[in-house]
Amino acid sequence: MTDTVSPTTPPIVRMQKLNKHFGSLHVLDDIDLEIVPGEVVVIIGASGSGKSTLIRCINGLEEFQSGTLAVDGNTLKPDGKSSKALQTIRTEVGMVFQQFNLFPHLSVIDNITLAPMKVRGWNREDAVATAKRLLDRVGIADQANKYPSQLSGGQQQRVALARALAMEPRLMLFDEPTSALDPEMIGEVLDAMRELAKEGMTMVIVTHEMGFAREVADRVIFIHKGVIAEQGTPEQIFSTPQNEQTRSFLARVLKH
Amino acid sequence: MDFDFQFDWSAAIASIPYLLPGIPWTLLISFGGLAFGFFIGIFFGLLRISPIRWLRWVAVVYIEIFRGTPILVQVLFIFYGLPQLLGSPINALVAGIAAIAVNSGAYISEIVRGGVQSIERGQREASLSLGLSRVQAFRYVIWPQAFRRMIPPLGNQGIISIKDTSLFSVIGVGELVRQGQIYIATTFTALEVYFMVALMYLAITWTLSILLRQLERRGIAGQ
């Protein structure tokens, strides 16, 4: 394959003038954003800036009130009025959550095989084989028959990653994937994500791990009060930020 | 007058053969009623948390009516009242089962609602994000977890409903209390007989408690 990421590649995510309100709060304010296949985009910003809400719009966990949003050619309408496109999008977009959200009543292997079997219609053998391959890839092949509560936080988050990957997504969303982890477990999750990025997965990551962002991101987006205040390469954002808000945010998070 | 109120064990034991036939009736009414009540409870419990407002209202009306009126009045209404409306008598057993069903159904609706609402929002979000439909998310993720949490309150309701059947002696169905009353009418040994009746209720509810505790333990072990 000679395909490379170029400006002519059609974007997998296209947001235009996206607006979202929680009551009187304007959470997302005229967001324009395009993400091309293979790109790793890291979104940073203070808590309450709207960064989580932004990625939750991409797979319809949050509704928006105006603007357009297309994911891989499937257009989502405002106010959640597009269930069929939404269903298609969700089968193609994986998500990893801050709180892991594993299914506590299912074993690790059943957590991973549930969606491929019920949504994609795979038979059990194929689903299990894929699940085992993915568990091996995230380094916890020996935990397949355990229940989530028997695993450490870092292991749980890697299972959650394997679970999302089992649907063979074209795009992965990460909503603060290491924020609920003990410090010694952050590394193992970031390693798994780093591997994924190397393999060319398109990723949108909300995180406070600035070192990781700098290393892995193709593009860093800084969100302030629901607006994309600044974006650019990690070098531009972290070394020569132009926006006053970016500078003060980075000063605060990089101080310790 | 004779004030010798000594407890007569031989009278208590003598009553057992007359009381025992009441047990199957008590069990039939309570578990028959609870079985229907369970499905009524799931139905109205899910309506109660439906996104459609008027469906929620239907559930609220049902729950308020049957939780807010005494079960004794409910069974009298069904056994004596409804036949006037329908023009044909209702079998006492059917009336008893129906009363337990509609009454426990109201409480079980609230148990179902509470159980489902207790499941963290993230479970549903993770399911949807994997492409499961809302129905699949409920069937494979939410409900199995909610049901486990519902077991202890369902057990409570079961015990309450078993005891409630004692009120149905008023419609002449031959459950435990009724059997006791008939027997006392000829022997006048109320102290001993009601003591034995109480023991028999205790035997039933205690057995149920033990079974439920085992079920709970297994349910938690599966997490």
Give yes or no for B126 touching A (CB within 8 A): yes
**B137 and A CB contact within 8 Å:** no
Structure tokens belonging to residue A116: 């491929």
Burial class (CB within 10 angstroms; exposed 0-12, middle 13-18, buried 19+) of A84: exposed
Domains of chain B, start order: 20-218 (1.10.3720.10)
Give me the residues paired with residue A13 across strands: A35, A71
**Quick check: B131 and A149 CB within 8 A?**
no
A189-248 residues touching B, CB cutoff 8 A: none
Q: What was the pLDDT predicted at A8? A: 67
- Assess contact for B122 and B61: CB atoms under 8 A: no
Please report which confidence band the pLDDT of residue B10 belongs to, taking 50, 70 and 90 as the band edges: very high
pLDDT of A5 reads 53
User: Of B83, B109, B79, B81, which is closest to residue B95 (Cα–Cα)?
Assistant: B79
What pLDDT, on a 0 to 100 scale, did the predictor assign at position A1? 39
DSSP E strands in A36-112: the ranges are: 40-44, 66-71, 74-76, 93-96
Residue B133: CA count within 13 A, CB half-sphere: 8
Torsions phi, psi for B214 (to 5 deg): -65, -40
Q: In this complex, which of B122, B131, B132 lies closest to A99 when CB atoms are compared?
A: B122
B118 contacts chain A (CB < 8 A): no
Nearest CA in chain B to A168: B130
Tell whether B220 lies on the interface with A, counting CB pairs under 8 A. no
Q: Is B130 on the interface with A (CB under 8 A)?
A: yes
User: Which of the 8 DSSP states describes residue A249?
Assistant: H
Percent of chain B at pLDDT > 90 equals 90
Within an 8 Å CB–CB cutoff, is residue A52 touching chain B? no
Q: How far is CA A81 from the centre of its chain?
A: 23
Tens digit of each residue's pLDDT (9 = 90 or more) over B60-70: 999 999 999 99
**Dihedral of CA B161/B153/B219/B59: which sign?**
positive
ipTM here = 0.93
Q: Model pTM?
A: 0.88
How far are the Cα atoms of B3, B12, B135, B180, B181 from residue B9, in angstroms, in the given order?
17, 5, 59, 16, 18
- Arithmetic mean of pLDDT over chain A: 93
Contact B140 A114 (CB under 8 A): yes
Whether A103 and B123 lie within 8 Å, measured CB to CB = yes
Q: Are A210 and A44 in contact (CB under 8 A)?
A: yes
In terms of CA atoms, which chain B residue is nearest residue A90? B131
Nearest CB among A91, A101, A173 relative to B122 is that of A101
Residues of A in contact with B120 (CB under 8 A): 99, 101
pLDDT recorded at residue A2: 43
Q: Which residues pair with A232 in a beta bridge?
A: A220
Residues of B in contact with A103 (CB under 8 A): 123, 126-127, 141, 145
Residue A6: pLDDT over 60:
no
| pLDDT value of residue A138 | 94
Residue B165 burial (CB < 10 Å; 0-12/13-18/19+)?
buried
- Give yes or no for a contact between A20 and A49, defined as CB atoms under 8 angstroms apart: no
Cβ–Cβ of B129/A99 closer than 8 Å?
no
Confidence (pLDDT) at A255: 73
Average pLDDT over residues A176-200: 95
Average of pLDDT values for B92-119?
97
Gyration radius of chain A over CA positions: 18
Do the chains contact at A105 and B222, CB–CB below 8 Å?
A: yes
In this prediction, residue A80 has a pLDDT band, given cuts at 50, 70 and 90, of confident
B222 and chain A in contact, CB less than 8 A = yes
Please, what is the average pLDDT of chain B? 93
**Amino acid in the structure at residue B20:** L
